[in-house]
Amino acid sequence: MNELTHVNEEGAAHMVDVGSKSITERVAKATSTLETRSDVLQLLQKAADKKGDVLATARIAGIMAAKRCSDLIPLCHPLALTGVSVDFEVCEEKGSIRITTECKVNGNTGVEMEALTAASVAALTLYDMCKAVDPGMVINATHLLEKKGGKRGHWQFDDANGV
């Protein structure tokens, strides 16, 4: 593939016609990581231990953002997602929280953008809740982990691909 599919031969953006692609089960997993100071992580952990609203808020934000993906990303197709999950892994030594998302659809185009949007918005929501303590947090390593379904089949992120 040596052309961008989302622009036509004259360089004009369009929403690619996927009407003739076959409907298969499509799955995508993505990730994003919020890096912060260890004291912020402890505050998050402490809040989470009490009632859990901190992680739940980021989780719900991620799930809702996945559903609104085609409303945010201009050339994304609207899709009737059949499942979305958002998980968190707190890594205390690195001072980071890693988000992992999974989206599913039976459709004629993939759900990569939905999974990535869920991960990004979950990370931004965590940032929002901690920014009064540490505005210097950084969101890193937002990328696709894996996708299945469609003509190209299974794809996995290769940590060694030099990015």
Task: Kindly identify the residues of this chain, within the stretch 58-87, that bind its own copies according to CB under 8 A.
Answer: 59-61, 63-68, 70-87
Residue 133: CB atoms within 10 Å: 13
Q: Note whether 97 binds its own copies by CB under 8 A.
A: no
Task: Kindly identify the residues of this chain, within the stretch 136-155, that bind its own copies according to CB under 8 A.
Answer: 136-144, 147, 155
Q: Which is nearer to its own copies, 44 or 97 (CB)?
A: 44
d(CA 47, CA 136): 20
Nearest C-alpha neighbor of 84 from the set 54, 108, 116: 116
d(CA 75, CA 16): 8
Q: Which of 36, 41, 100, 148 binds its own copies (CB under 8 A)?
A: 36
Q: How far is the CB of 45 from its own copies (least distance, A)?
A: 11
Q: Note whether 115 binds its own copies by CB under 8 A.
A: no
Q: Note whether 99 binds its own copies by CB under 8 A.
A: no
d(CA 117, CA 32): 10
Beta strands 155-156 and 24-35, pairing class: unpaired
Catalytically active residues are 128
Q: How far is the CB of 77 from its own copies (least distance, A)?
A: 7
Nearest C-alpha neighbor of 41 from the set 127, 124, 142, 116: 127
Q: Note whether 100 binds its own copies by CB under 8 A.
A: no
Binding residues: 75-77, 113-114
